Amino acid sequence: MTLYTSTVVTPRPRSRVWAKIGENTAYAIGLPIILVVIWGIWATVAPAQFFPSPAELLEAFVDTWIGPAFVTDVLPSLGRLAIGIVLSIVVGVVAGTLIGLNRWLRELLEPMLEFFRAVPPPVLLPIAVVLMGPTDAMKIVVIVIGSVWPILLNTIEGVRSTDSVMTETARSFALTRGEHLRYLVLPAASPRIMAGVRQSLSIALILMVISELGYSSSGLGYQIVFFQRNYLIAEMWSGILLLGLIGILLAAIFGLVERRVLRWYHGIKEVERA
């Protein structure tokens, strides 16, 4: 019979640490590897016309995209995408702040904004093409028109819902309008704004592809369609793969930025959950 219990702290044996890392890696790549293997077997046993084998896909990927095509097609597309995203953020946040802070402006614009955000962005492509010609500017405009909405609307909501006690604190200390905006309104709205940016990233990627479908002679989207029309199946798939990778890259970059900008927000959430 023990009279007392003592807690003895033993350091975790090194093998346990490595086992944990191994476990995490297994989970991370386990299913993908299984899927690729199944896919490989299927392709060998029952080759389908429109589905290349993993080996073919990899080869096509390297051949197509690692080379001149990267510079002539991929980089310009990515460049337009980046400019479009940056413009969307700037326009969305600036306009959203103005509209969110001025009640009369918001009430004036609300019906029109609700309507415009409901218009499916691809539909505006024919109009943009004819008004601006098949230029880079047109493609960027299409990207912005579609991806500005989540940012704009989230900024409006975020700016509107500043905590009343925080606002009174600012007033009681007679903060200037600039300080009020910079140190209170915008930081308080930043979680919502970042949520909007995240949504707009996926929309921007879709519109980047769409803006090149049928109205372009170069670019990633154009190339994928080109491959399809010419029955270059493996190449087409490699383009799809590349798009997926770009999407992941975007999400990863966003994750990094968001974790930095919203460090305080995540901190609070952690404290609340504890």
Partner 1 sequence: MPETLRTAQTLLNVEHLRKVYESSTGNVEAIGDIGFRMDAGELVCIVGPSGCGKTTLLKCIAGLLKPTSGVVELGGRRVTAPPPNMALVFQEYGRSLYPWLTVRGNVELPLKHKKLSRADRDRLIDDALVAVGLDHAAKSYPWQLSGGMQQRVAIARAVAYQPEVLIMDEPFAAVDAQTRADLEDLVRTLHRERGMSILFVTHDIDESVYLGERVIVLSKSPTWVQEDLAIDLAPERDQITTRALPRFTELRTHVYEQIQRAKRGEAVRPEAA
Partner 2 sequence: MATAAAVPAPVRRSPRQLRTLRKLALGAAGILGFLVTWQLLPTLGLVDPRYFPTATETLAQLGQEMRDLEFWRNVGRTLTAWGIGLVIATVLATVLGTVIGLVPFLRRATHTTVEFLRPIPSVALIPLAVLLYGYQLQAALIIIVFASFWQVFIQVLYGVADVDAVARDTARSFGLSRGSRIVNLVFPTALPYLMTGLRLAAAVALILAITAEMFIGNPGLGREIVFAQSAGNWPVVYALVIVTGLLGLLINLVFRAIERRSLAWHQSVRGEEVL
Binding residues vs partner 2 (CB under 8 A): 27-32, 35, 50, 104, 107-112, 114-116, 118-127, 130-131, 150, 153-154, 157, 191-192, 194-196, 198-199, 202, 205-206, 209-210, 213-214, 221, 224-225, 227-228, 233, 236-237, 239-240, 243-244, 246-248, 250-251, 258
Phi, psi of 48 (to 5 degrees): -100, 150
Q: Which two tokens stand for residue 211?
A: 């803006």
Does 165 sit near partner 1 (CB under 8 A)?
yes
| Partner whose binding site includes residue 35, from partner 1, partner 2, none (CB under 5 to 8 Å by kind) | partner 2
DSSP characters for 237-262?
A: HHHHHHHHHHHHHHHHHHHHHHHHHT
Report d(CA 246, CA 199) in Å as an integer: 15
Task: CB nearer to partner 1: give 16 or 266.
Answer: 266
Q: Which one, 4 or 115, has the nearer CB to partner 2?
A: 115
Please tell me whether residue 173 binds partner 1 under the rule CB under 8 A. yes
Question: Do 159 and 180 contact (CB within 8 A), yes or no?
Answer: no
**Residue 29 contact among partner 1, partner 2, none, beta carbon within 5 to 8 Å by kind:** partner 2
Closest CB 181 distance from partner 1, rounded Å? 13
User: What, of partner 2, partner 1, none, does residue 190 touch, CB below 5 to 8 Å by kind?
Assistant: partner 1
Return the number of other C-beta atoms located less than 10 Å from residue 247's C-beta: 14
In angstroms, give the least distance from the CB of 273 to partner 2: 11
Q: What angle do CA 39, 41, 46 make, to 5 degrees?
A: 95
> Where do the H-state alpha helices sit in 161-184?
164-172, 177-179
- Applying CB under 8 A, does 45 fall inside the site for partner 1? no
CB neighbourhood size of 225 (10 A): 17
Q: Which of partner 2, partner 1, none sits in contact with 122, Cβ below 5 to 8 A by type?
A: partner 2
Q: Which of 14, 172, 260, 274 binds partner 1 (CB under 8 A)?
A: 172
Residue 248 interacts, among partner 1, partner 2, none and using kind-specific CB cut-offs from 5 to 8 Å, with partner 2
Q: Quick check: 161 binds partner 1 (CB under 8 A)?
A: no
Coil, strand, or helix at residue 8?
A: coil
As separate numbers, helices (DSSP H) first and strands (DSSP E) second, the chain gives 13, 0
Locate 85 and state its tokens: 């995203």
Q: Does 6 bind partner 1 (CB under 8 A)?
A: no
268/197 Cα distance (integer angstroms): 21
List, in sequence order, every beta strand (DSSP E) within the chain: none
Q: Rule CB under 8 A: which residues touch partner 1?
A: 163, 165-166, 168-169, 171-176, 179, 183-184, 187-188, 190, 264-265, 267-268, 271
